[in-house]
């Protein structure tokens, strides 16, 4: 049974020719996929971004296709990392190693999402086999599927809300589960950084069985990745003067810095009344503020998926796909520090010579009192999606599907500071119950246990039921081909439980439950004007597509979005295309209602240099939050000037209105403070203190301690809630070049390059604010990202060299601004097909050896203070801190 039957070879060639970012840039071109994907010579074609296209990329747009060869040869241990290797994907927002951008604060389980072109971490829709996936109500992590269980990955960097609804503003990533496997496949891989500070390993197996009327497949993988500590990288330091940067060291050290009557005194290692005079006015102890901070958390993955297809009759087919995934994480953070107020009642109180007050302050780190603080948890999800496909007369097909899935996310920390207990221990005159702030190590373990016992638990439970019924087929025949129509109905029923428990270990988790229902109808029509029998010079093919979709939300209103596309082939070697449409994104439930309602005391990057500034950020609900809307259009060309040379170019324009922005985790916001003037997002001085006090009076809790225990020491307030702040305009060019050359009977050379070049990125942070140029500025979309590769197949040996380039940009978070260098690591992979050299029982045994970052290129130095949310001495959104990595692997098929 087929839907729009067409040989997969033709399908593959069309996608390969039209890819805006060539799949071949990861390894081999898509033409290596024909045997793996073909089932009895026919295939149910899934064209991501269209319901009526007959085997080619969406009319008017392009598709990047990563097939089995690309997935295997990438060396990435999980699907999310395979996708993140594409130049169009920016590591901004929801990322395991950087939580400082919009959306990052909600990433409490340190997962990854897809952010196409840097437009936003929630603006790319992730699908599995063309349907929606249960998630934590925030974003979808593609790693829920094992790499062995994926047939291919389609990436359409084009607005597609008229096809799929919400979230498809920047584009769509469709992960197609594997249905073609006939046999058993297994692999193992181990990799480590050159210095041994980071390693990862993965194993997996898949079994597939194809029979006369169907197939079934099962795949399982286990992956483990160690943490990478900032202590193991010399650029993640506070004193960056050796690199030409600022000194970001803090005075909250061990031993600390005493502050009396506005004068600072550096404390010795142990300060007692016997050496009370051994301090000097105007001195201070300086140290790194984030010793022990993880740059990459420890992660463990277990993932399983399965597919099945069975033809009950010649006209009725049933199918399913399903998955289960559990990812565990552990992230180490630096030991806490604060400004203590030490009263004279403290059992260990030391009175400096000439001091007559009743208390003074000490900038203090708990480095000698407790271990590194830790957050740990898991992200667990499963979904099953059965459906049926019915062949009707006149080549029409009806397809119906129901999906049900659940997710369980959990993040917990158990060693937070109990401010009440700390203040009580500071005031205690009993040495057995007092806290020693002078480095003498005299605090009893029971007191420390009582101080560092605060919990912060944040579970999220979600359930998704998804229904879809659609029909598609030809209406009538034109000289240029069949006019095709697709119509359908979808319904989503989503429920999420947002939980929280904080404070005493005995406190119980309380949940808030929210529901969302969405009813949608859609239609799409393909109109081929030229092609087939009426093709002529100048009009070998000309086809149009038009789509429209209406979505009705139970909590976010109604929206209708159209989309149009055109392909024109004036010659058989050149295709010109264009598209236009509108898109939207409904705000997520946590964006509307807030993950929590708290005031967070945290450190902000100091634009003037020096130690970070302590400020307070608000999290909470915004019930007035509205949907985002966008207008997208593009035009481009695919050209094959000579055999085996393929060129593709696409210009795109995305105008995004009412963008939702949240700055809870934006610890670099003071470098952009002027843009938020008049919005109330950033307040200073008395205005900041008044706002904080007002929120405290209304019952909002404070997490963390004010320096010295006093609000008067706070100068910065940031409204970190989600808000419809303004709009953005993103324009740019995607390009790819691919060339294949036969060098001999057993020699094949493939060359290629692909990339994204942004010409404009302008942002207005408020509805009435002017657009300002933010292109090529740190933590914003960068102007240029690209990849180039050379792949040589020589008999049983294949060698691949790949260079990834991230262009230089401006760090405007310091004064004066810094020009950051470009970053171009080079990877080398060697593959030996052993069975082609020796007669062995395992006919398809492959051994691989990889060197990533072959020349051990360091991340470009970036003048930033180390941050608890990523970056510091380097930019976690643009560079990899691991360094050179070595890996070996084996794969067998039988």
Kindly state the helix (H) or strand (E) to which residue 553 belongs, with its residue range. Answer: strand 541-553
Query: How many whole angstroms separate alpha carbon 385 and alpha carbon 474?
Result: 27
**Do 889 and 847 contact (CB within 8 A), yes or no?**
yes
Query: What pLDDT band is residue 385 in, cutting at 50, 70 and 90?
Result: very high
Kindly state the helix (H) or strand (E) to which residue 844 belongs, with its residue range. Answer: strand 844-852
Angle 185-200-335 from CA coordinates, rounded to 5°:
150
Q: In the chain, what are the domains?
A: 8-231+297-332+377-412+458-591+627-660+725-893 (2.40.170.20)
**Phi, then psi, of 614 in degrees rounded to 5:** -80, 125
Angle 845-30-133 from CA coordinates, rounded to 5°:
95
Which residue is associated with the tokens 């594409």? 86
**Do 440 and 272 contact (CB within 8 A), yes or no?**
yes
Question: Would the pLDDT of 27 be above 70?
Answer: no
222-236 pLDDT tens trace: 999 999 999 999 999
Which residue is associated with the tokens 């997520």? 588
Most distant pair of Cα atoms in the chain: their distance: 102
Among the ranges given (360-369, 532-541, 560-569, 660-669), the one the predictor scored with the smallest mean pLDDT: 660-669
386-395 pLDDT tens trace: 999 999 999 9
Query: What pLDDT band is residue 44 in, cutting at 50, 70 and 90?
Result: low
Q: What is the mean pLDDT of the chain?
A: 90
What is the radius of gyration, based on Cα positions, of the chain? 29
CB within 8 A of 217, min separation 6: which ones?
A: 149, 177, 178, 179, 181, 206, 207, 208, 209, 306, 307, 308
SS (H, E, C) 173-220: EEEEECCCCCEEEEEEEEEEECCCCCEEEEEEEEEEEEECCEEEEEEE
Query: How many whole angstroms separate alpha carbon 58 and alpha carbon 49?
Result: 6
CB within 8 A of 63, min separation 6: which ones?
A: 15, 18, 19, 20, 47, 48, 49, 57, 154, 155, 156
Kindly state the helix (H) or strand (E) to which residue 451 belongs, with its residue range. Answer: helix 445-451
Residue range 527-546: mean pLDDT, rounded: 94
State the pLDDT at residue 9: 33
CB within 8 A of 319, min separation 6: which ones?
A: 307, 308, 309, 310, 386, 387, 388, 389
52-88 pLDDT tens trace: 987 668 999 988 999 999 999 888 899 999 998 999 9
Question: Would the pLDDT of 514 be above 90?
Answer: yes
Distance of CA 887 to the CA centre of its chain: 24
State the pLDDT at residue 730: 96
Query: How many whole angstroms separate alpha carbon 628 and alpha carbon 586?
Result: 6
Question: Would the pLDDT of 23 be above 80?
Answer: no
Residue range 571-575: mean pLDDT, rounded: 95
388-433 pLDDT tens trace: 999 999 999 999 999 999 999 999 999 999 989 999 999 999 999 9
Sheet holding 150-156, edge to edge: 64-66, 150-156, 171-177, 124-128
132-157 pLDDT tens trace: 999 988 889 999 999 999 999 999 99
Question: Would the pLDDT of 22 be above 70?
Answer: no
**Do 306 and 216 contact (CB within 8 A), yes or no?**
yes
Query: How many whole angstroms separate alpha carbon 276 and alpha carbon 250?
Result: 23
Query: What pLDDT band is residue 305 in, cutting at 50, 70 and 90?
Result: very high
Residue range 634-642: mean pLDDT, rounded: 96
Residue range 566-572: mean pLDDT, rounded: 95
682-734 pLDDT tens trace: 999 999 999 999 999 999 988 887 887 789 889 999 998 988 877 899 999 99
Question: Would the pLDDT of 859 be above 60?
Answer: yes
SS (H, E, C) 660-709: EECCCCCCCHHHHHHHHCCCCCEEEHHHHHHHHHHHHHCCCEEECCCHHH
Residue range 870-889: mean pLDDT, rounded: 94
728-787 pLDDT tens trace: 999 999 999 999 999 988 899 999 999 999 999 999 887 777 899 999 999 999 999 999
């Amino acid at each position: 049974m087929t839907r729009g039957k067409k040989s997969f070879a033709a399908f593959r060639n069309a996608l390969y020719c039209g890819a805006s970012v060539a799949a071949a840039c990861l390894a081999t071109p898509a033409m290596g996929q024909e045997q793996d994907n073909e089932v009895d010579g026919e295939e149910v074609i899934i064209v991501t971004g269209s319901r009526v296209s007959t085997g080619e990329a969406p009319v008017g747009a392009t598709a990047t296709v990563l097939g089995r060869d690309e997935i295997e040869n990438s060396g990435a241990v999980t699907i999310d990392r395979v996708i993140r290797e594409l130049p169009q994907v920016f590591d901004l927002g929801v990322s395991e190693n950087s939580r400082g951008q919009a959306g990052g604060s909600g990433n409490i389980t340190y997962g990854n999402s897809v952010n196409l072109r840097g437009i936003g971490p929630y603006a790319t829709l992730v699908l599995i086999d063309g349907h929606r996936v249960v998630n934590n109500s925030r974003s979808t992590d593609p790693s829920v599927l094992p790499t062995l269980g994926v047939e291919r990955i389609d990436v359409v960097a084009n607005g597609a809300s008229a096809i799929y609804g919400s979230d498809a503003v920047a584009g769509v990533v469709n992960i197609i589960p594997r249905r073609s496997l006939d046999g058993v496949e297994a692999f193992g891989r181990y990799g480590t950084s050159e210095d041994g500070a980071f390693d990862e390993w993965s194993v997996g197996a898949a079994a597939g069985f194809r029979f006369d009327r169907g197939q079934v497949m099962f795949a399982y993988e286990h992956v483990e990745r160690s943490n990478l500590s900032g202590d193991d990288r010399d650029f993640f330091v506070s004193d960056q003067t050796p690199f030409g940067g600022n000194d970001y060291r803090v005075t909250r050290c061990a031993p600390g810095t005493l502050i009396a009557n506005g004068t600072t005194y550096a404390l010795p290692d142990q300060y007692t009344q016997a050496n009370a005079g051994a301090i000097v006015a105007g001195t201070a102890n300086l140290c790194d503020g984030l010793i022990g901070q993880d740059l990459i958390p420890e992660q463990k993955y277990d993932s399983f998926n399965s597919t099945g297809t069975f033809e009950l009759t010649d006209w009725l087919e049933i199918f399913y796909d399903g998955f289960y995934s559990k990812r565990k994480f552990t992230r180490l953070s630096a030991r806490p520090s604060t400004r203590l107020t030490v009263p004279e009642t403290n059992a260990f109180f030391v009175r400096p010579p000439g001091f007559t007050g009743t208390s003074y302050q000490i900038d203090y780190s708990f480095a000698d009192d407790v271990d590194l603080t830790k957050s740990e948890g898991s992200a667990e999800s499963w979904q099953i999606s059965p459906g049926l496909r019915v062949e009707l007369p006149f080549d029409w097909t009806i397809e119906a599907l129901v999906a049900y899935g659940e997710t369980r996310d959990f993040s917990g920390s158990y060693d937070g500071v109990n401010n009440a207990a700390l203040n009580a221990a500071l005031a205690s005159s009993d040495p057995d119950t007092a806290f020693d702030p002078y480095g003498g190590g005299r605090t009893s373990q029971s007191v420390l246990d009582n101080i560092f016992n605060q919990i912060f638990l944040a579970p999220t439970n979600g359930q998704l039921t998804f229904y879809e019924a659609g029909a598609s087929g030809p209406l009538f025949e034109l000289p240029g081909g069949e006019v095709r129509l697709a119509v359908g109905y979808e319904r989503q029923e989503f429920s999420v439980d947002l939980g929280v428990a904080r404070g005493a270990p005995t406190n119980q988790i309380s949940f808030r439950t929210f529901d969302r229902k969405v009813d949608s109808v859609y239609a799409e029509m393909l109109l081929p004007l030229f092609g087939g029998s009426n093709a002529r010079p100048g009009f070998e093919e000309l086809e149009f597509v038009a789509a429209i979709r209406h979505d009705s939300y139970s909590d976010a209103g109604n929206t209708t979005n159209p989309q149009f596309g055109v392909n024109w082939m004036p010659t058989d070697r050149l295709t010109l295309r264009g598209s236009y449409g509108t898109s939207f994104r409904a705000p997520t439930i946590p964006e509307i209602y807030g993950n929590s309602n708290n005031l967070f005391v945290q450190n902000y990057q100091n634009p003037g240099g020096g130690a970070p500034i302590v400020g307070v950020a608000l999290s909470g609900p915004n019930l007035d939050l509205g949907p985002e809307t966008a207008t997208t259009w593009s035009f481009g060309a695919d050209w094959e000037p000579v055999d085996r040379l393929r060129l593709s170019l696409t210009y795109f324009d995305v105008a995004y209105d009412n963008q939702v922005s949240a700055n809870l985790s934006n610890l670099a916001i003071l470098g952009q403070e002027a843009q938020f003037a008049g919005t109330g997002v950033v307040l200073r001085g008395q205005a900041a203190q008044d706002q904080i006090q007002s929120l405290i009076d209304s019952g909002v809790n404070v997490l963390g301690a004010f320096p010295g225990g006093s609000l008067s020491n706070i100068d910065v307030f940031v409204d970190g809630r989600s808000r419809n702040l303004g709009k953005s305009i993103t324009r740019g060019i995607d390009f790819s070049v691919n060339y294949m050359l036969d060098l001999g009977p057993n020699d094949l050379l493939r060359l290629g390059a692909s990339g994204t070049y942004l010409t404009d990125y302008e942002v207005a942070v408020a509805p009435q604010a002017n657009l300002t140029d933010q292109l090529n500025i740190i933590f914003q979309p960068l102007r240029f990202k690209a990849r180039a590769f050379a792949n040589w197949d020589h008999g049983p040996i294949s060698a691949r060299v790949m260079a990834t380039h991230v262009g230089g940009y401006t760090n405007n978070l310091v004064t004066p601004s810094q020009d950051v260098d470009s970053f171009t690591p080079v990877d080398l992979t060697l593959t030996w097909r052993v069975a082609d050299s020796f007669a062995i029982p395992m006919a398809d045994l492959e051994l691989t050896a990889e060197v990533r970052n072959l020349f051990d290129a360091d991340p470009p130095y970036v003048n930033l203070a180390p941050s608890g949310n990523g970056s510091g001495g380097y930019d976690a959104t643009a560079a990899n801190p691991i360094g050179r990595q070595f890996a070996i692997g084996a794969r067998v098929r039988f």
